[in-house]
Amino acid sequence: MSFLEIWYPDERCASAFDIDYEGLYAQGIRGVMFDIDNTLVPHGADADERSIALMKRLREIGLDICFVSNNQRERVLRFNREIGAHVVINAHKPAKSGYLRGMALMGTDLASTVYVGDQIFTDVWGAKRLGMRNILTDPIDPREEIQIILKRVPERLILRSYEKHRHEGNQDG
């Protein structure tokens, strides 16, 4: 295994809105944890019709929802106001504690939980450290804070390696 492989997401999807949640449910997933900013809405935006409709759909499928965010209380509660999901505020991702707290709130475990987010070094790495299934999405908005922009450079290197590895793996089978 190469050094970069420890950072590979379990799965990739262009958008959180394109994930096959019915398929996840059929595989035994019962709880979905989400990052908020640039995963569900542009950075700092309130929940929009699309994100509210997605959360309603997930509940209809039978999935519980928790937003695990590094953001502060006001931001997370404002986003969650119309959704009413579980929240873990100021989670300090990639620390394990936020993910563990989210599972406790939903009553799920590692086998029945998936994390969906747009950043490798927080969202994906935190989930991987626990052995939690994770799905990396593309960021919604290219305009980001400088500390995130700086992380995107090594992320691109990891994702190029990830895509090459997946492509080579598909040729072997």
Where does 35-102 show beta strands of DSSP type E?
64-68, 86-88
How high does pLDDT run on average in the chain? 90
- Based on the structure, what is the number of domains in the chain? 1
Measuring CA to CA, how many Å separate 125 from each of 88, 95, 119? 17, 9, 9
Distance CA 117, CA 15 (A): 9
Does residue 156 fall inside a structural domain? no
Does residue 159 fall inside a structural domain? no
Reported as a single tens digit per residue, the pLDDT across 47-81 is 999 999 999 999 999 999 999 999 999 999 999 99
Domain with 69 in it: what CATH number? 3.40.50.1000
- pLDDT value for 145: 66
- pLDDT value for 161: 76
Q: Which domain holds residue 136?
A: 8-143
